[in-house]
Amino acid sequence: MSASVLPSTPLTLIDGTETTFDHFAGKAVLVVNVASKCGFTPQYAGLEALYAKYKDEGLVVLGLPCNQFMGQEPGAEADIESFCQMNYGVTFPLTVKADVRGKHQHPLYAQLTKFKSGLLPGLVKWNFEKFLVNPQGEIVDRFASTVEPESDEIVRAIEKTLAADAA
């Protein structure tokens, strides 16, 4: 089952640049709600490794910092960006902080959470949940926070998505 992400969904990058999701048109995008003070925070290293390995083939990792789960992303955007670069060498794009659920849910997550996969229906359950969007803007997979970025499951999904686009 795939669902479309609205290409015109607004995004504000962490440096304040206003854009839309179609900025990534033609790329596979792994969208992740991230946090600096979470037990899953070390996943930044795996996300950066995925980005480094597959960016030339058309993968973008997009991190959306979120402070909705036990206040685990309390810093300002400059603090978040600095933390990510200094501790994990993050070069993939980050947005400004965003709500991934609730009354002020970011429009991107309103679309992403329509995609249901196994035990992951609807709402985002915690930090570092991952959604894979193909180059046509369709949501093709969803992974729990506990699934490591460099796991066979995610790597296979990314490679399949990139191969399908290359075919």
Domain ranges of the chain: 3-166
Report the catalytic residues.
Answer: 38
**pLDDT per residue as tens digits for the range 28-79:** 999 999 999 999 999 999 999 999 999 999 999 999 999 999 999 999 999 9
Q: Residue 93 and residue 102: Cα distance in Å, rounded? A: 24
**What pLDDT, on a 0 to 100 scale, did the predictor assign at position 115?**
74
**What pLDDT, on a 0 to 100 scale, did the predictor assign at position 2?**
52
**pLDDT per residue as tens digits for the range 118-152:** 555 678 889 999 999 999 888 899 999 999 999 99
**pLDDT per residue as tens digits for the range 73-93:** 999 999 999 999 999 999 999
Q: What is the CATH number of domain 3-166?
A: 3.40.30.10
**pLDDT per residue as tens digits for the range 101-121:** 999 999 999 888 887 665 556
Q: Contact at 8 Å (CB) between 32 and 129?
A: yes
Average pLDDT score, the chain? 91
Q: CB-based burial of residue 156 (10 Å sphere; 0-12 exposed, 13-18 middle, 19+ buried)?
A: exposed
b/e 59-85 (16+ beta carbons within 10 angstroms → b): bbbbbbbbbbbeebbebebeebbebbe
pLDDT of 96 higher than 50: yes
